[in-house]
Structure 1
Amino acid sequence: MRRHFAILATIVVLGTPSVAHAWGQTGHRVIGEIAQQNVSGKTRAEIELILGNEDLAEASTWADEERSNPDVFWQREAGPYHYVTVPTGKAYTDVETPDEGDALSALERFTQVLRDPAATREDKALALRFVVHIVGDVHQPLHAGNGDDRGGNDVTVSWFGEETNLHSVWDSKLIDSRNLSYTEYANWLMRSIEPAQTITWWTADPLVWIAESTRIRDDIYPSEEAVNLGYAYQYEHLNTAEARLQQGGIRLAAYLDYVFANDAL
């Protein structure tokens, strides 16, 4: 991509994070690793043609790592590509896509690049890394923000006595409490995915993923009296976070198989 395919020159914050990195490195890499093990042989070959020896786990964090890149694309355009905004009580289809774009509009754009036979390998590499990242992002419930608190970034909580915010808890603190490497975590989670779950979860429709995240999002806010989060919150929500990692990995595989199918679905 020529870095000027973009839409506007300023980032407008619409209630979801502009600085937090969904899932952190561990979560994104877990999703990438699960997808790597579930894509078809054809898709795996297509990925290798674009990325060489770089696997999906490595590619998954690139869009966050480039946020400090001074290029205008990263500083003026790419920020909104990490989230969607869905007000409480509404579906994504009830909300107009913002002028500066969002995760779903970016996913559609980068998918077109991957399917364009005239696109360069460099353009396809940027597009593929973003697709991998975006699928992970929208499975983090607070990256389907309600428009009121920057995806939980403005919700101050403590996590086992450490002052932080709700978004950070869901990005990394919940899953980092397992104290596992991303490969250990991915293998652990893959062993518990039943074949029936893979079949049920196998959908390349991002509206399904966003609707799920929106429903979960509305149930994970602590009460004003319970902002000191610890073992009770971890017990209540860690399984949900891990399920979203599992689903994100399976959906990423499904989406990439869809992208690289001979015929559009």
Structure 2
Amino acid sequence: MAEAATWPDDMKSDPADYWQKKAGPWHYVTVRQGDSYQSKDAPPEGDAMSALDGFTATLRSPKSSIEDKRLALRFIVHIIGDLHQPLHAGGGDDRGGNDVKVTWFGRATNLHSVWDSAMIEQRALSYSEYAQWLSRSISPEQLIEWSDPAPSLWIAESIALRKTIYPADSNMSWDYAYAHRSEMDDRLKRGGIRIAAYLNRVFEPGTGNDLAARTK
């Protein structure tokens, strides 16, 4: 699953039109007004929500090929993770923080990259060490509370957090890291639980192909 989680990002370097044009918008949603996701804000190729719907149907269909199901499962795991990164639920005006230029401990970068990787890399842990460390701090009560397979909830949480993470000073270092590190950990923990919750629903006998739509 660790390999599946990053595979759609790894494939962005593939020159095929599928990866360069079609699949590009499937990593995020745009919320231009208010705090609720609206499908009308998606580009013609769709977005993370429409892709989640489509790949869920593929995974559950007995007519889908094994290769199509492998692709769908990888994308589902990845998309759920993306929807828990607050800048993947952007307002459509700065490319999810990619246009917000900052320095991170003196290194030029952008706000999206800080949340995608820089704060995580600062932990100086392998992905397995980090996962184990996060898992140990999840209480039984949180496990129950967070096991909601509704993408609309995940997006609403990300939107609320996104509004609080734009820095007042573009020169970011320890003050910013200390202020937001626990929030990043929280999103990672919730994302992991929701991947499990969503896949449990996908493979639940009798669940229809419109799972994502019905859990909005």
If the TM-score is normalised by the length of the shorter chain, which range does it land in? over 0.9
2:141 aligned residue: 196
In the TM superposition, what is the alpha-carbon distance from 1:187 to its structure 2 partner? 0.2
Aligned match of 2:152 in 186, 203, 207?
Answer: 207
Measure, in 2, the Cα distance between the counterparts of 1:158 and 1:88. 29
Give runs of aligned pairs for residues 174-253 of structure 1, distance below 5 A: 174-223=119-168, 226-253=169-196
Is the 1:115–1:259 contact (alpha carbons within 8 Å) kept by the matching residues of 2? yes
Is the 2:22–2:45 contact (alpha carbons within 8 Å) kept by the matching residues of 1? yes
In the TM superposition, what is the alpha-carbon distance from 1:141 to its structure 2 partner? 0.2
TM normalised by structure 1 equals 0.76
Give runs of aligned pairs for residues 103-114 of structure 1, distance below 5 A: 103-114=48-59
Q: Deviations over 1:189-210 (max 9, x none)?
A: 0000000001000011000000
Is the 2:31–2:41 contact (alpha carbons within 8 Å) kept by the matching residues of 1? no
Is the 1:82–1:134 contact (alpha carbons within 8 Å) kept by the matching residues of 2? yes
In the TM superposition, what is the alpha-carbon distance from 1:95 to its structure 2 partner? 4.5
In the TM superposition, what is the alpha-carbon distance from 1:227 to its structure 2 partner? 1.2
In the TM superposition, what is the alpha-carbon distance from 1:188 to its structure 2 partner? 0.3
In the TM superposition, what is the alpha-carbon distance from 1:83 to its structure 2 partner? 0.3
* Residue 109 (structure 2) pairs with residue 164 (structure 1): yes
1:27 aligned residue: none
SS at match of 1:251: helix
1:15 aligned residue: none
* Residue 197 (structure 2) pairs with residue 257 (structure 1): no
Question: How large is the Cα RMSD of the aligned pairs?
Answer: 1.2
In the TM superposition, what is the alpha-carbon distance from 1:97 to its structure 2 partner? 3.6
Percent identical: 57
Greater shift after overlay, 94-103 or 149-158? 94-103
TM normalised by structure 2 equals 0.93
Greater shift after overlay, 139-148 or 88-97? 88-97
SS at match of 2:20: helix
In the TM superposition, what is the alpha-carbon distance from 1:90 to its structure 2 partner? 3.5
Q: Which amino acid in structure 2 is aligned with residue 165 of structure 1?
A: N
Is the 1:88–1:218 contact (alpha carbons within 8 Å) kept by the matching residues of 2? no
In the TM superposition, what is the alpha-carbon distance from 1:58 to its structure 2 partner? 1.3
Is the 1:157–1:229 contact (alpha carbons within 8 Å) kept by the matching residues of 2? yes
Q: Deviations over 1:121-152 (max 9, x none)?
A: 00100000000100000100000011110000
Aligned match of 1:102 in 42, 47, 72?
Answer: 47
In the TM superposition, what is the alpha-carbon distance from 1:105 to its structure 2 partner? 0.2
**Runs (5+) with no aligned partner, structure 2:** 212-216
Is the 1:86–1:95 contact (alpha carbons within 8 Å) kept by the matching residues of 2? no
Q: Which amino acid in structure 1 is aligned with residue 115 of structure 2?
A: W
SS at match of 1:60: helix
Measure, in 1, the Cα distance between the counterparts of 2:184 and 2:10. 22
SS at match of 1:158: strand
Bigger fraction of residues in helix: 2
Q: Which amino acid in structure 1 is aligned with residue 117 of structure 2?
A: S
Q: Which amino acid in structure 2 is aligned with residue 249 of structure 1?
A: G
Greater shift after overlay, 209-218 or 62-71? 62-71
Measure, in 1, the Cα distance between the counterparts of 2:100 and 2:39. 25
1:70 aligned residue: 15
Measure, in 1, the Cα distance between the counterparts of 2:101 and 2:41. 29
Aligned match of 1:130 in 75, 78, 87?
Answer: 75
SS at match of 2:38: helix
**Runs (5+) with no aligned partner, structure 1:** 1-55
